[in-house]
A and B are shown apart, each in its own frame.
Chain A
Amino acid sequence: ETGVTQTPRHLVMGMTNKKSLKCEQHLGHNAMYWYKQSAKKPLELMFVYSLEERVENNSVPSRFSPECPNSSHLFLHLHTLQPEDSALYLCASSQGEASWTIEQFFGPGTRLTVL
């Protein structure tokens, strides 16, 4: 596997379910991100992890719970979601703070549908 991978690619869940999204980066990066992409809206940054420490939580509801066990893996735990949470969830990674390594590399996303 190369780049940034995400599983599952598609997920349908009920409002009472608990599920997790997984992201893995194979680029040796030390920063990882979760974005939410809804129709006709700009990408919304949800969480940022740098060196496995959360450095930003962009006012995301507590029904979304991130976890970064190491610099290569990032999870997004979901519970009691609402239909308006249906969206494409994108994971990204970057090398870190240095300005010469600022590009973010994105995964293919997980298409989440909440019934």
Chain B
Amino acid sequence: AQTVTQSQPEMSVQEAETVTLSCTYDTSESDYYLFWYKQPPSRQMILVIRQEAYKQQNATENRFSVNFQKAAKSFSLKISDSQLGDAAMYFCAYRSGGNSGGSNYKLTFGKGTLLTVNP
């Protein structure tokens, strides 16, 4: 079974600075997807960024980028130029890359990292 570990329960960053959130995972699969989701205080979970395991290039979405280290099974999220609106709980999630069977729909989540942005 896959597991996802976020070792930082809480992080804080000054506005306009950069912060990196850590995520490690355990899997025996070679084909999978990794995600970072953001859950602001309003509680609507939204997708921040995704990474396909077969792609060596790290995904980037504006101020958000990942450092994907497949061999190390590490998937960290870097937030540049942090803004007050970035304050939220961030979840790392894993999904199998297979396309058959109900279990392939399953997202396995970490426990989350609560990010505080200080003005």
Contacts and interface: CB of A to CB of B under 8 A. Distances in A.
Interface of A: 31, 33, 40-43, 45, 48, 50, 55-56, 88, 90, 92, 94, 97-99, 102-109
A109 B47 CA distance: 15
Given A48-B105, A48-B106, 7 more contacts: A31-B105, A42-B108, A42-B109, A99-B33, A102-B95, A108-B42, A108-B43
B100 to A, nearest CB: 7
Nearest to A98: B99
Among B33, B99, B102, B111, chain A packs the most CB atoms within 10 A around the CB of: B102
Contacts, number: 59
B56 interface: no
A43 B109 contact: yes
A97 B104 contact: yes
B62 interface: no
A110 to B, nearest CB: 10
Interface in B46-96: 46-47, 50, 91, 95
A106 B47 CA distance: 9
A97 B100 contact: yes
B103 interface: yes
B62 to A, nearest CB: 17
Contact of A42 (B42, B44, B111): B111
A104 B107 contact: yes
